Amino acid sequence: MLAKRIIPCLDVKDGEVVKGVNFLNLRSEGDPIELAKKYSKQGADELVFLDITATLESRNNVVDLVRKVAKNVFIPFTVGGGVRSVKDISELLSAGADKVSINSSALKNPKLLNDASNRFGSQCIVLAVDVKRTEGSWNVYSHGGSKSININAIDWIKEAEDRGVGEILLTSMDADGTQAGVDLEITKLISDMVSIPVIASGGIGKLDHFKDAFIIGEADAVLAASVFHRDIFPVQTVKKYLLKNGIQAR
Amino acid sequence: MIGVIQYGMGNIGSVKNALDHLGIPNIVTADKNQLSSCERLILPGVGAFEPAMNILTDLKFDVFIKEWALNEKPILGICLGMQLLLTSSKENGTTNGLNLIPGQVMPIKNAHRKIHIGWNKVEPTIENAIIPKSGFAYFVHSYACQPENKLNVIAETKYGNSFPSAIQKRNVTGVQFHPEKSQDFGLNILRNFAHASV
């Protein structure tokens, strides 16, 4: 049986892993390569690296980081942040990334999703969506959560699936960094709607939250940051907990 | 020396990184002279069956690989590289493959999602030197190999129906998962391939 995936997320800024609350107040969490090795050893199923500065100067550093990770870590990893073109994707994949996540630039130019999945295959194109609840529905935000886009999350994700993306990385901005649990409602809504895997993100603080995301939210994978960076519990503790609760884990 | 066939389909760098990490001498090339001097070959691949087969044919790798297999030298197909070893694929119509192991490549059946992405258990069905014991490996695919002869199946995995996750016919081996991305379990499989006698 396919295992539910646990994915530590490494937000990278100026060569360091950082983490904030509700996308703000960043603090340093350590060296990306060392953390990647540590999580791989702990049994992480995948890793996600997000370049949260995503400036042109940081692009080269990210490609360099991808190359180092690929030489040291033998689990799949996704890279995102500032991916704007087929050329950017090609560069990251050649450097050793397995998947690329696209957010703001897909909202600006949705055709990028078609071009990217036709060229590289759906399996390596992840759509990252940052959503915020507003009066019973969920709105999409771009540019690291700073810019509201007048589009409903459900419509956008449906469109992205039709355009060929292979996975959805769904982050609830309301929940992110709060450690109060993922937004189960939107996670389940999206998971029921699409035929591609859904990665739930934002809000993990307790072991129960993983179980709820998988069972109630019907997520295929859960992404978390703070709880792993701050050693609140290591990945293997989460895996043991899931297995004990009848959830298939590796 | 392991030769990794470079024909422009997919993330060949990760196979090289894994072999380097294991200290296994390897060369990634499209040069048939260099590949001929290797003891073993790896045929990697990510993407669709038809374009991959077209490239192999255009570069005359189809003939090269068939001769290699006839000479009883070991070859390992990974992911799409495994599927290419079969007679034909039903992905976007019917396309002929290398036909080193008789069988067809068919869509995954009765599964929760149409793409099988993630870690799943590989269970050996026959005692073999490449996959001596069961473990979790990383998969990304939506088609699966169905060899005609069940004795060519060396491991199975359950996703919807069970499907063959590793196949073998004498010196020709294929794995549907990515050993180069399957941490210790996968790295061991690459090590076993590098040392197994045929």
Residue A89: what pLDDT? 93
Of the candidates A78, A58, A67, which has an alpha carbon nearest to the alpha carbon of residue A10?
A78
Residue B92: what pLDDT? 85
Chain A residues within 8 A of B120 when measuring between CB atoms: 1-3
Residue B197: what pLDDT? 75
CB-closest option in A3, A96, A122 to B17: A96
C-beta atoms of A94 and B13 within 8 A:
yes
Chain B residues within 8 A of A196 when measuring between CB atoms: 113-115
Closest Cα of chain A to B114: distance in Å? 7
CB-closest option in B121, B158, B183 to A40: B183
Residue B61: what pLDDT? 97
C-beta atoms of B119 and A2 within 8 A:
yes
Would an 8 Å CB–CB cutoff place B134 in contact with chain A? no
SS3 A110: coil
A88, A130, A176, A220: which one is catalytic? A130
Q: Rounded to the nearest 10 degrees, how much is the dihedral formed by the CA atoms of A195, A148, A58, A89?
A: 30
Q: Mean per-residue pLDDT for B138-161?
A: 96
CB-closest option in A5, A70, A167 to B119: A5
> What's the whole-number average pLDDT of chain B?
95
All structural domains of chain A: 5-244 (3.20.20.70)
Q: Is residue A11 among the annotated active site residues?
A: yes
Residue B44: what pLDDT? 94
The two tokens of residue A13 are 């800024």
CB A78 within 8 A of CB A101: yes
CB-closest option in B14, B48, B178 to A96: B14
C-beta atoms of B181 and A76 within 8 A:
yes
pTM, rounded to two decimals: 0.93
C-beta atoms of A3 and B136 within 8 A:
yes
Q: Residue B113: pLDDT band by 50, 70, 90 thresholds?
A: confident
Would an 8 Å CB–CB cutoff place B14 in contact with chain A? yes
Chain B residues within 8 A of A75 when measuring between CB atoms: 138, 181-183
Kindly give, in sequence order, each residue whose CB lies less than 8 Å from that of residue A56, ignoring residues fewer than 6 positions away.
none
Residues of chain A with confidence (pLDDT) below 50: none
pLDDT digits (tens, 9 = 90+) for A65-118: 999 999 999 999 999 998 999 999 999 998 999 999 999 999 999 999 999 998
Closest Cα of chain A to B118: distance in Å? 7
pLDDT digits (tens, 9 = 90+) for B36-57: 999 999 999 888 899 999 999 9
Round to whole Å and give the CA distance between A95 and B131: 29
Would an 8 Å CB–CB cutoff place B91 in contact with chain A? no
Q: Mean per-residue pLDDT for B124-152?
A: 96
Would an 8 Å CB–CB cutoff place B8 in contact with chain A? no
CA A237, A185, A48: angle at the middle one, nearest 5? Answer: 45
Chain A residues within 8 A of B118 when measuring between CB atoms: 2-3, 5, 45, 197, 220-221
Residue A30: what pLDDT? 87
The two tokens of residue B4 are 């990794």
Round to whole Å and give the CA distance between A212 and A210: 5
Residues of B taking part in catalysis: 79, 178, 180
| DSSP structural state of residue A197 | -
Closest Cα of chain A to B84: distance in Å? 17
Closest Cα of chain A to B169: distance in Å? 26
C-beta atoms of B14 and A123 within 8 A:
no
Residue of A nearest to B136 (CA): A250
C-beta atoms of A5 and B118 within 8 A:
yes
DSSP for B6-43, please give it.
Answer: -SS-S-HHHHHHHHHHTT--EEEES-HHHHHTSSEEEE
All structural domains of chain B: 2-195 (3.40.50.880)
